[in-house]
Amino acid sequence: MEVSLALKVEDASASEGGYTSVAFHPDGLILGTGTSEALVKIWDVKGQSNVATFEGHVGAITAISFSENGYFLATAASDGIKLWDLRKLRNFKKFTPYGAEPTNCVEFDYSGNYLAAAGSDIRIIQTGSVKSEWNTVKTFPDMSGTGKTTSVKFGPDANYIAVGSMDRNLRIFGLPGDDSAMES
């Protein structure tokens, strides 16, 4: 299979560190990027332009994820998780699930009801709204022994999650009795 570069947009404001994370908005017309300079940039794909920039994290952005309706953006960095309301272009919540330890990954499920966070363990957070609480409903241990879970993805209907870590193993956690969720 041959692959070619479809588009390249120069970002004169980017420094040598570059981009550390990327995600498409559910509508496919917006792209979110995280930088090594702790910036989150929102891009108009058709217009090939940077339409918003969010500041406020400390350290490189390790992950970004859009909610299923496209209203919220979750970003992770060494200082924790920030939630952004894209309708008002502002940060509405910040939390540090791992204290001084970095949050390595965040991921909304397909329904927008849950947000997974990965760091020294894996946490499932029940999402709320701008005004309501976002509470941790389940915590899974980092079974790798490395203390560094690096990625997490939800399966269909949030029935299971796939977790990657620095021990080069993939673990799948699921609901009790769900034969499709086996640890490997």
Q: How confident is the model at residue 184 (pLDDT cuts 50, 70, 90)?
A: very low
Q: What is the pLDDT of residues 32-64, one digit of tens each?
A: 999 999 999 999 999 999 999 999 999 999 999
Using the predicted structure, report yes or no on whether residue 171 has a pLDDT greater than 60: yes
Is residue 5's pLDDT more than 70? Answer: no
Answer whether 125's CB lies under 8 Å from 115's CB. Answer: yes
Sign of CA dihedral 167, 170, 174, 176: negative
Residue 165, pLDDT score: 87
Single-letter code of the amino acid located at 43: W
Other beta carbons within 10 Å of 21 = 21
Torsion 24-26-30-35 (CA) sign: negative
Distance, CA of 102 to CA of 120 (rounded, Å) = 8
d(CA 154, CA 9) in angstroms, rounded, equals 31
What is the mean pLDDT of the segment spanning 119-139? Answer: 89
Cβ atoms within 10 Å of 13's Cβ, excluding its own: 11
Instruction: Give per-residue pLDDT as tens, 79-96.
Output: 999 999 999 999 999 999
State the number of CA atoms in the 13 A half-sphere of 176 facing the CB.
Answer: 0
Q: What is the CATH number of domain 19-174?
A: 2.130.10.10
pLDDT at 183: 42
What is the pLDDT of the chain when averaged over all its residues? Answer: 87
Alpha helices in 51-162 (DSSP H): none
Higher pLDDT, 148 or 19: 19
| Alpha-carbon torsion (73, 94, 152, 133), positive or negative | negative
For 102, which DSSP code?
P
